[in-house]
Structure 1
């Protein structure tokens, strides 16, 4: 019942739009600050790795191993991916373009920050992003998804139709099994 309301209701569509734009502003602000102010994840990663030890570690050993053995040695890659990712998630949510994908990628980053021991606003953003992902296309109807998604659907569907008619079945495979 809640899923249907989120996916089909016009009131939900407008509430999701407000939520989507607010979350998008949070992401774009964080990404823009990192893009223009310089960003180095070394300190963050080092701090998260340090939090894998002690009596009550805030970072689990498996995630700490990933940070130690992959993220920290490739910090230059993360110094580029994090700010651009944050900015693009924000842009997608604000414009309502590929809304579900943008919210999903925001969730991935929120989980990564939470796994690294940073709470901040991440749980709230994560919860809101779940609603956007569950709502699907309804979350982007007041946005560019209103035109982008039908265009993509029509374009991709044309590849499987013959002369604008009904979908054609794939040609049978006559090779011996």
Structure 2
């Protein structure tokens, strides 16, 4: 019932826009800070995460440590470009409401990567807001460029009339 409300209700599209804009600002700020600094290097972050793999209750699980050690660190230069530009583009997509579901999915992927690496910061609240936006589907980008871009690309939104009925009456 709640998911249906998120996906179909006009009021929900306004609430989702607020969630989307919050996430977009956070991602753009994080990405732009790294891009504008001139040189971003994630290898120190990855090495710090690897230090948290050991012990009785490791903050970083061994399987993630293996990924960092065997994939991410040897390809740090690729990650040094992907992280700041990924953050910035996710934020831009969310701010514009363009390819919203893809943008929020990529943002959630990065949030989980940071959480897997043993950091908390704003990631849990961004995951929660991102999950709500993702669950809403097309309604999350309805007040944004998705309304026109998706139509232009031939991927039409479902032809259903948005309701203004309260959550308790939609069944």
The aligned counterpart of 1:102 is: 103
Once residues 50 and 86 of structure 1 are traced to their aligned partners in structure 2, the CA distance between those partners, rounded to angstroms, is 25
User: Structure with the greater relative contact order (CA < 8 A, sep ≥ 6): 1 or 2?
Assistant: 2
Distance 1:52 1:153 in 2: 47
Shift of 1:88: 0.4
**1:138, 1:83 → 2: CA distance?**
28
Runs of 4+ in 1 over 3 A off after TM superposition: none
Give the match for residue 169 of structure 2.
Answer: none
CA offset digits 1:9-48 (Å, max 9, x no partner)? 1110000001101110000000000001121101100000
SS of residue paired to 1:40: coil
Once superposed, what is the RMSD of the aligned Cα atoms? 1.1
* TM-aligned CA deviation for residue 150 of structure 1: 1.3
Q: In 1, Cα distance between the equivalents of 2:16 and 2:115? A: 24
Q: 1:57, 1:154 → 2: CA distance?
A: 45
When the two structures are superposed, what TM-score results if normalisation uses the length of structure 2? 0.88
Aligned CA distance change for structure 1 residues 154 and 74 (closer, same or farther; 3 Å): closer
TM-score of the pair, normalised by structure 1: 0.85
Shift of 1:51: 0.5
Please give the alpha-carbon distance, in whole angstroms, between the structure 2 residues aligned to 1:3 and 1:56.
36
Contiguous gaps of at least 5 residues in structure 1: 156-177
Match of 1:59 in 2: 60
Counterpart of 1:75 in structure 2 is 76
How far does residue 3 in structure 1 lie from its aligned partner after superposition? 1.0
1:149 aligned residue: 150
Measured after TM superposition, the shift of residue 153 of structure 1 is: 2.1
SS at match of 2:118: coil
